[in-house]
């Protein structure tokens, strides 16, 4: 891909490319291929051969996993600057999740072999990738513990706070979670039903903690949610 100042600066901000030399960064950027998709479309589906690793430049993605009987779980939301499909690097045969655009997206990608070359040549890049994976492991461990030991209300509060810190945008009424996110999506993030999620949100809205809209949540008093998420005596 042609290296422009613009996308090089996005590269530089990506956690996975931290502390790389400009030289390396440019080489990597030049090997990248661009791919834009529209909201609702997919970069790849669960079960597709894992051949590319992507870096999201613009937009937001939902990474979901489905069970054989069609039940879905929303694993994470990817925002600009994040790598996705990185399991391909680790020789996984197929993607374990699907990557669907929640907004119009632009991303760059490398083939497995291309990026692996860089990883083998640039130790810092190997360390960064390793670090990213380790963070995921820790996050999933936390979520697993939470889903085993905590009830829906607390998990929901946590999920909203996490989303706000990752994709939040300051607006008049509070912090808007800046992607179309249905009750169903929220339910799939925390392992609950959309009904239960809707009930808690309504309750919180009536207490003034949040403002609701269709596929929209605005957090008015984050601290209220923190209380629900952390309080040891509910």
Partner DNA sequence: GCTGATCTTTGCGCCAGAGCAAAGATCAGC
Partner DNA sequence: GCTGATCTTTGCTCTGGCGCAAAGATCAGC
Measured from the CB of residue 188, what is the shortest distance to a copy of itself in angstroms? 8
Nearer to a copy of itself, 185 or 188 (CB): 188
Rule CB under 8 A: say whether 172 interacts with a copy of itself: no
Q: Choosing among a copy of itself, DNA, none, which partner's interface includes residue 175 (Cβ < 5 to 8 Å by kind)?
A: none
**Alpha carbons 134 and 34: distance in angstroms, whole number:** 27
Measured from the CB of residue 94, what is the shortest distance to a copy of itself in angstroms? 10
Give, in degrees to the nearest 5, the angle at Cα 125 between 121 and 127: 115
Measured from the CB of residue 98, what is the shortest distance to DNA in angstroms? 16
Rule CB under 8 A: say whether 196 interacts with a copy of itself: no
Binding site for DNA (CB under 7 A): 151-153, 182-184, 191-196, 198-199, 201-202, 205, 212-215
Measured from the CB of residue 108, what is the shortest distance to DNA in angstroms? 28
Nearer to DNA, 27 or 220 (CB): 220
Rule CB under 8 A: say whether 23 interacts with a copy of itself: no
**Segment 140-159, which members bind a copy of itself (CB under 8 A)?**
140-150
Measured from the CB of residue 74, what is the shortest distance to DNA in angstroms? 13
Give the DSSP letter string of the chain. ----HHHHHHHHHSGGGTT--HHHHHHHHHH-EEEEE-TT-EEE-TTSB--EEEEEEESEEEEEEE-TTS-EEEEEEEETT-EE-GGGGGT-SB-SSEEEESS-EEEEEEEHHHHHHHHHH-HHHHHHHHHHHHHHHHHHHHHHHHHHHS-HHHHHHHHHHHHHHHHEEEETTEEEE-S---HHHHHHHHT--HHHHHHHHHHHHHTTSEEEETTEEEES-HHHHHHHHH-S--
The 3-class SS string of 28-42 reads HHHHCEEEEECCCCE
Rule CB under 8 A: say whether 215 interacts with a copy of itself: no
Rule CB under 8 A: say whether 112 interacts with a copy of itself: no
Nearer to DNA, 123 or 213 (CB): 213
Measured from the CB of residue 226, what is the shortest distance to DNA in angstroms? 19
What distance, in Å, lies between the first and last C-alpha atoms of the chain? 54
Rule CB under 8 A: say whether 135 interacts with a copy of itself: yes
Q: Which residues bind a copy of itself (CB under 8 A)?
A: 65, 67-69, 71, 73, 75, 86-87, 89-92, 96-97, 116, 119-121, 123, 126-127, 129-131, 133-138, 140-150, 188, 190-191, 232
């Amino acid at each position: 891909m042609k290296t422009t100042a613009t996308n090089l600066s996005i590269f530089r901000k990506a956690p996975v490319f931290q502390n790389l030399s400009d030289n390396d960064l440019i080489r990597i950027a030049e090997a990248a291929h661009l791919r834009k998709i529209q909201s609702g479309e997919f970069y790849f589906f669960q079960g597709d051969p894992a051949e590319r690793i992507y870096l999201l430049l613009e937009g937001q993605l939902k990474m979901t996993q489905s069970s054989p009987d069609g039940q879905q779980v929303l694993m994470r939301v990817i925002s600009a600057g994040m790598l996705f499909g990185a399991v391909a690097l680790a020789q996984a045969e197929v993607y374990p999740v699907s990557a669907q655009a929640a907004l119009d997206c632009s991303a760059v990608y490398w083939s497995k072999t291309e990026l692996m070359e860089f990883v083998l040549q640039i130790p810092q890049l190997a360390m960064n990738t390793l670090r990213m994976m380790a963070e995921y492991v820790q996050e999933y461990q936390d979520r697993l513990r939470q889903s085993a030991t905590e009830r829906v209300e607390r998990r929901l509060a946590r999920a909203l706070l996490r989303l706000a810190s990752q994709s939040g945008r300051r607006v008049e009424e509070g912090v808007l979670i800046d992607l179309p996110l249905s009750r169903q999506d929220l339910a799939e993030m925390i392992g609950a039903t959309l009904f239960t999620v809707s009930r808690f949100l309504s309750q919180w809205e009536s207490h003034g903690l949040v403002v609701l809209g269709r596929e929209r949540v605005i957090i008015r008093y984050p601290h209220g949610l923190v209380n629900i998420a952390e309080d040891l005596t509910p």
